[in-house]
Chains A and B, each alone.
Chain A
Amino acid sequence: MNSINLLLGVEFWVATIRIATPLMFGTLGELLCERAGVLNLGIEGIMTMGAFVGWAAVYQGADLWIGVLLAAIAGMVFGLLHSLFTVYLGLSQHVSGIGITLLAANLAYFFYRVLLPQVNTPPKITPFQPFAIPLLSQIPFLGKAVFTQTPLTYAAFILVAIAAYLLYRTPIGLAIRMVGENPSAAEAQGINIYSIRTLAVVIGSAFMAIAGAFLTLSAFDSFFVNLINGRGWICIALVIFASWQPFKALLGALLFAGFDALQLRLQQKIGAAIPYQLFLMLPYIFSIIALSVMARRAGYPKALMVPFRKGER
């Protein structure tokens, strides 16, 4: 009974969308990379770096949006590094990705310590404030749930739509999908596989960094080293759940976030009867079940994780 009341509360949906936002950015970024045929396991580290750079910029006095921009640029740098290893050198995408995660996460920590060698509590910034969109936020229930978020959340929704449009309705989108499916055929069309893949990885990595920046500039207001806490890995799973389609990715992120918001509420209600660990597991159990159902029909990009070498057959 209680849990049904929970789902009907606006507050629950506000929380769901707020929790989903970093997942939306991250999943979209990963999706772009993979659509071009490159698995990017650097996501966790790139998110950490994005969280740090965005926060540090604002802490040093930059505007919040400049912080987001700088985070995106930091993400691009690591995306470029990843594409150098995987696209140009054709090295193992797993190894390179994990290497980038370790490198970026630890570099973020290193720079943080250089910036703040002696602190007792991490300093705070003034984060993005919730911004109710006029008129739209007046819509009963839905308006309050969706249109009273922080600006980056709106940006995430818009980005999903833009990504979907770009992927399916524009030549560049076609090129990205093609290099992920059949690079040789794409090359025969005169498409430069290396450039397209690099472009996708770099843009995708920028999204990942913004996902991290959301956590320090919007969801919270200071930087912690282990702040990302596995959210990047969730995005990898969500891409498969989404079967590499942007709108399904949005759905997956919302579902996962919904379960997370729900477990936090269930835990405090019936936590006395059931161990809290079970509640914490809930979103992950959902992921596994959803994955095993959805993965059967998942149309993964055929050239995913296959390095392309010009002239090779």
Chain B
Amino acid sequence: MITNLSRRRFLLYGSATVGTSILLKACGTAPSPQPSPSAASPAATGAIKVAGVYTVPIEQQWVSRIHKALDAAKGRGDIEYVYSENVTNTDYERVLRQYAEAGNQLIVGEAFAVEKACRAVAKDYPKVAFLMGSSGKPDGKNFSVFDNYIHEPSYLTGMIAGGMTKSKIIGMVGGYPIPEVNRLMHAFMEGAREITPDVKFLVTFIGSWFDPPKAKEAAFAQIGAGADVMYAERFGVSDAAKEKKVLAIGNVIDTQKDYPDTVVASALWHMEPTIDRAIQAVKDGSFKAEDYGIYSYMKHKGSSLSPLGTFESKVPAELQQKVKKRQEEILAGTFTVKVNDMEPKSTA
């Protein structure tokens, strides 16, 4: 059944195969491999060349914050910005090297699943500055790390959640229990306990970063079990809360405009302080391996509690007062929110 390939057919298939592979290769080339003249002299003219390498689409909450900060810097004319999104972890190192080869001076990305490879690349390109999302430590001379240390506003949103729950059950749906998720959940839980000590938590992980229908189902299940405030770590949770008319707390981004009667408050992450500091360091040649984590702290304006907006009048004044007081204490450094990276568990 496979034998009777005529010569003509063979030629047809053969040329089709070759043609396709050439086409694929053409499509696969990097966005801008040819270094522009300005890149030859770093620290010279205004704009430095920055590349972003992300493992998820730029809509993902986490990456959207980085992308936004870099876009803003581009808008100011501080940087030339190129990026690749949805890069698989197995391909990550190649893309990283490609951008390093292309003459980018600063590369921003996420090393979580490819720590070793990223550090190796950084070692191979000592003149390029690397600023990577990572749970690890800075490395060598040019490998800096950052992370979403927004546990402080998470604590504050937890206080709000603790005050707003009537059933004393709070639902939490997460993707995977990695430190970046865990520490925010724990801070949130601590905050809720401060206001309502006997509050119970339902915790579900859905084993995916991008499955809103499943996150929604998990949220439905928690609401069915009595949760009346949802911690919306994933897309989909606020939707379930909206449909079932319970409340939700946002994370990383402010989604209140999409759910005006559902999302009470959000713990926001601002990447601008981190990014701007790194850009400045590259510009004046002072970039070194550093932990940029603290620039996500409230003190450095790297995170904040969102305005209550539509819930301004619905959150009791007494509770607002308590939250405000805590916020001031955090900013003054008299109150520290614990960083706990352990996997959170249900307590109900």
**Is A11 in contact with B217, judged by CB distance below 8 angstroms?**
no
CA–CA, A18 and B258, complex, Å: 24
| Given A122-B59, A265-B225: A277 and B207 interface contact (C-beta under 8 Å) | yes
Inter-subunit contact B207/A268 (CB<8 Å): no
* Contact status of A280 and B220, CB under 8 A, knowing A90-B1, A121-B59: no
Q: Which residue of A lies closest to B345 (CB)?
A: A272
Query: How does the 8 Å CB contact mask read for B213-225 relative to A, with 1 for contact and 0 for none?
Result: 1101110111011
> What A residues does B86 contact at CB under 8 A?
109, 225
CB of A226 within 8 A of chain B?
Answer: yes
Distance of A103 Cα from B71 Cα, bound (Å): 30
**Are B208 and A271 in contact (CB-based, < 8 A)?**
no
Contact A224 B210, beta carbon cutoff 8 Å? yes
A227 x B253 contact (CB < 8 A): no
Q: Among residues 192 to 209 in chain B, which have CB atoms less than 8 Å away from a CB atom of chain A?
A: 202-209
On whether the beta carbons of A226 and B208 are closer than 8 Å, the reply is yes
B210 contact from A226, A265, A272, Cβ within 8 A: A226
User: Which A-B residue pairs are the 8 nearest by beta carbons?
Assistant: A272-B345, A268-B202, A226-B210, A219-B213, A264-B221, A11-B224, A280-B207, A229-B211
| Contact across chains for A272 and B347 when beta carbons are under 8 A apart | yes
Question: By the criterion CB–CB under 8 Å, are A220 and B239 in contact?
Answer: yes
Partner of A276, one of B68, B177, B211, B347: B177
Give min CB distance, A304 to chain B, whole Å.
Answer: 15
Q: Which of A18, A220, A269, A309 has the most CB of B within 10 A?
A: A220
Q: A121-B258, A265-B224, A307-B1 are in contact. List 17 more A-B contacts (CB 8 A).
A: A15-B220, A18-B217, A118-B71, A120-B253, A121-B255, A215-B213, A222-B235, A227-B210, A227-B213, A264-B204, A265-B225, A267-B204, A268-B204, A270-B346, A271-B203, A271-B345, A276-B177
Is B178 at the interface (CB under 8 A from chain A)? no
Decide yes or no whether B98 CB sits under 8 A from chain A.
Answer: no
A298 to chain B, nearest CB (A): 25
**The one of A225, A265, A270 that contacts B221, using a Cβ cutoff of 8 Å:** A265
A219 x B216 contact (CB < 8 A): yes
Q: Which residues of B contact A175 (CB under 8 A)?
A: none
Q: How many residues of chain B get a CB closer than 8 Å to chain A's CBs? A: 43
With A15-B221, A271-B203 already in contact, the answer to whether A220 and B216 are too (CB < 8 A) is yes
B57 at the interface (CB under 8 A from A): yes
CA distance A244 to B106 in the complex (A): 56
Q: Say yes or no: B212 contacts A227, CB within 8 Å.
A: yes
Bound complex: CA A109 to CA B58 (Å): 12
A interface with B by C-beta (< 8 Å): 9, 11-12, 15, 18-19, 90, 109, 118-122, 124, 215, 219-222, 224-227, 229, 260-261, 264-265, 267-272, 276-277, 280, 307, 309, 312
Check if B320 is an interface residue, CB within 8 A of chain A: no
Residues of chain A within 8 A (CB-CB) of B1 are 90, 307, 309, 312
For residue A268, which residues in chain B have a CB less than 8 angstroms away from its CB?
171, 202-204, 218, 221-222, 225, 346, 348
How distant is the Cα of A215 from the Cα of B210 in the complex, in angstroms? 13
Do the beta carbons of A221 and B239 come within 8 Å of each other? yes
How far, in Å, is A203 (CB) from chain B's closest CB? Answer: 25
Q: Is B165 an interface residue (CB 8 A)?
A: no
Complex Cα distance, B207 from A121, in Å, reads 21
Q: From A268, which residue of chain B is reached at the shortest CB distance? A: B202
Residue B236 lies at the interface, judged by CB distance under 8 Å to chain A: yes
Is there an interface contact between B64 and A121, defined as CB atoms closer than 8 Å?
yes
B346 and A120 contacting across the interface, CB-CB below 8 Å: no
- Whether B211 pairs with A280 at a CB distance below 8 angstroms is no
Given A268-B346, A269-B346, A227 and B203 contact (CB-CB distance below 8 Å) = no
